[in-house]
Chains A and B, each alone.
Chain A
Amino acid sequence: NAGVTQTPKFRVLKTGQSMTLLCAQDMNHEYMYWYRQDPGMGLRLIHYSVGEGTTAKGEVPDGYNVSRLKKQNFLLGLESAAPSQTSVYFCGTSGGSSYEQYFGPGTRLTVT
């Protein structure tokens, strides 16, 4: 029972490159989220999903795309990375508003 896992843990990209971050959960939760954490800013919501096949924009969605083809996986894509996307990315999952949100260990992304 791994909970929430994120792949990769670290990545360095050059400006303009693309990549996909994978979040996987084995908790059978409907809700999944992608946040980014920047110094002094707390965590901000990028995109979220309320179930398989559904996605929606959060507070800071520009430059990112997501997909939820399987209930247990939530992918975050950067089509053309920019230095402003240098951040730590956290995936979260929840059974609903009355439940705790569980987080993955984070992915540290640097765009040069």
Chain B
Amino acid sequence: AQKVTQAQTEISVVEKEDVTLDCVYETRDTTYYLFWYKQPPSGELVFLIRRNSFDEQNEISGRYSWNFQKSTSSFNFTITASQVVDSAVYFCALSTNQAGTALIFGKGTTLSVSS
């Protein structure tokens, strides 16, 4: 079975706090891809990152960083010094070679950043 679990339904922080969004995945495939998408209040889906199963290097992009650990099947997302504009729903997703490489989404984490 393939599954993505985002255990945190909602997180509230104050501006400038750091926040980590958790993502745990399940798959028996050895080749797979992990994604994070952002859905702001306007509703569109914004691609943030893609990581393949053979690349466990952490990645940093500005205030965003991702920690991929195959040993714990996790792909966590950290926002450093959060801002009000980071308020959104964040989805973690998994893709393999099944179902035409469609994405399997977690249920999402709603992040609210207050000033």
Interface size on A, residues (CB 8 A): 28
Q: With A43-B91, A105-B43 in contact, is A49–B103 under 8 Å at CB? A: no
Most chain A beta carbons < 10 A, residue from B50, B100, B104: B100
Contact between chains at A56 and B100 (CB < 8 Å)? yes
Given A43-B91, A88-B43: A49 in contact with B100 (beta carbons within 8 A): yes
Number of interface residues of B (CB under 8 A): 26
Contact A100 B47 (CB under 8 A): yes
Indicate if the CB atoms of A97 and B95 lie closer than 8 Å. yes
Q: Please report whether the interface of chain A is mostly helix, strand, loop or mixed according to DSSP.
A: strand
**A77 contacts partner chain B, Cβ-Cβ < 8 Å:** no
Number of A-B contacts (CB under 8 A): 66
Collect the chain A residues with CB atoms within 8 Å of residue B99's CB: 45, 48, 56, 58
Q: Is A53 an interface residue (CB 8 A)?
A: no
B12 part of interface (Cβ distance < 8 Å): no
For B50, what are the chain A residues with a Cβ–Cβ distance below 8 Å? 99-100
Contact with B along A39-78 (1 / 0, CB 8 A): 0111111001110000010100000000000000000000
